[in-house]
Amino acid sequence: MKPLNSLAMWESIKKTVGTDSWESYFNKHGADGTLLDTDDNVSFINPTNDKAIKLTYDPSKKSLIDYWLSSFGDEESGSVEVLNIYYRHQDESLPLIERLIKDWPNEG
């Protein structure tokens, strides 16, 4: 299986943005803990503030990055706010994505 560009992006983000409280979220893992996602995307949740980040690598995107907020769940079970980020080039996108997510978990 080819390496996930989105996981490499997350590993780069972890070096500069505090990600200690983020946990794997809706990712498929093998018995050894390796991510098994077939699409090049990964997601992580911060359960203390019910926010999640989904990173998707898509080299066919025309813009460097696209992003939007969505929500998952409902009021009864609890809603999670999700920052969806699609990007096409890791090195160029990294500073923009870091800036996007650095303060976002503390908003709202």
Per-residue pLDDT reduced to its tens digit, 3-14: 668 888 888 888
pLDDT digit string (tens) for 68-94? 999 988 777 778 899 999 999 888 999
Buried b (16+ CB within 10 A) or exposed e, 48-69: eebbbbbbbbeeeeeeebebee
Would you give the DSSP letter of residue 72? E
pLDDT of residue 56: 92
Report the domain count for the chain. Answer: 1
Q: Are 87 and 93 in contact (CB under 8 A)?
A: yes
By residue range, what is the domain housing residue 72? 5-106
pLDDT interval class at 36 (50, 70, 90): low
Taking the CB of residue 100, how many other CB atoms lie within 10 A of it? 17
